[in-house]
Amino acid sequence: MTGRAVWISLPLLAGCSGVQSVLDPAGRDAQVLAELFWVMLAGAVVLWLLVNGLILYVTRIAPQPLSRRGAEALIIGGGIIFPAVVLAGLLVYGLSEMPKQRAEGAGLTLRVTGHQFWWRVEYWPDGADAPILAANEVRLPTGQRSEIKLNAERVIHSFWIPALGGKTDMIPGRETRMSLEPEKPGTYRGQCTEFCGESHAYMAFGAVVMSPEAFDAWLEREAADAVAPETQKARRGQQIFLSEGCGGCHQIRGTPADAQVGPDLTHLAGRTTLAAGILPMSHSALRDWIADPEAFKPGVEMPGYGHLSDDDIGALATYLMSLK
């Protein structure tokens, strides 16, 4: 049954792809890990074929009793020496690949802090005196190795973008690091992979890989203040945002809202997802999130605003959707 399961699974493995697949690499680091997986799998298949081939030989092909010398040669050679050689080779290969996962970044540095249950992201271009703040989304240029420094508040988290590289734990009071070198532009999915509370499964983020030119243009826009609301409904939404005390937790650069307790919202609508990867970035999803965040993410610290009228929630969502 075990052998049958192995053969059945091979076609399934060949079809593994997508925005969160380790077998569909989009970066140099993920490519190394994918190659390591296939080499390890090949070694496991060789060992499986050897052991099961020996069993087949002594039980079906030549079931006659073996001499003591023949039995010892079979056990020692096939059961000890050959597996040890194969496993040692796989170990040496695996260890030789590890330094590639610890390479130093050059140029751009990101600082990512895991909160319950969202991500603070700071971009530090080479030579910058202050960071460019964002949240719940990571953007990286292709062809460059970016340094990523990781921190956490309160509890341990773990940062992982399967299509771009391996995962690294984020530990309160201790800064860890990794680096990534994306190669294929696109939008991928990251996830916290260390249990961090009741909404751990809802702590995801988008990972957008861009050409260097597109990334530089995006970073320049991200550094700018929020645009002023242009419509009457959006201006009303801004007034509601400020009067309801939302600025006591969130920052929108260019407005009186300057707190950094929660995610920075300066360019909220320019992100690919809402609420740390669990909702689409749309007006209707934003309305639902504002009214009752707990319904989507149990344990979230953001209070619900169900006491507001539908019109007020709609105006607030309209204002936030203008922040691109």
pLDDT tens digits for range 134-163: 999 999 999 899 999 999 999 999 999 999
- Which residue's structure tokens are 């696109």? 186
In a domain, residue 27? The reply is yes
Query: Binning pLDDT at 50, 70 and 90, where does residue 47 land?
Result: confident
Q: Residue 320 above 60 pLDDT?
A: yes
Report the pLDDT averaged over residues 216-240: 95
Say if residue 65 is in the same domain as residue 141. no
Q: Which of 102, 117, 148 is the last residue of a domain?
A: 102
Q: Residue 21 above 50 pLDDT?
A: yes
In a domain, residue 174? The reply is yes
Say if residue 91 is in the same domain as residue 113. no
Sheet bearing 186-192, strands edge to edge: 137-141, 204-210, 186-192, 157-160, 168-170
Report the pLDDT averaged over residues 60-70: 80
Q: What is the DSSP string of 48-99?
A: HHHHHHHHHIIIII--SPPPHHHHHHIIIIIIIIHHHHHHHHHHHHHHHHGG
Print the domain residue range for 252.
232-321
Q: What is the pLDDT of residue 3?
A: 53
Q: Residue 1 above 50 pLDDT?
A: no
Query: Binning pLDDT at 50, 70 and 90, where does residue 305 land?
Result: very high
Whether pTM > 0.85 for this model: the answer is no
In a domain, residue 49? The reply is yes
Report the pLDDT averaged over residues 48-73: 81
Say if residue 167 is in the same domain as residue 248. no
Q: How many structural domains comprise the chain?
A: 3
Q: Residue 15 above 70 pLDDT?
A: no
Between 129 and 296, name the one with better pLDDT.
296
Query: Binning pLDDT at 50, 70 and 90, where does residue 5 land?
Result: low
Residue 111 token pair: 């600082």
Q: What is the pLDDT of residue 127?
A: 79
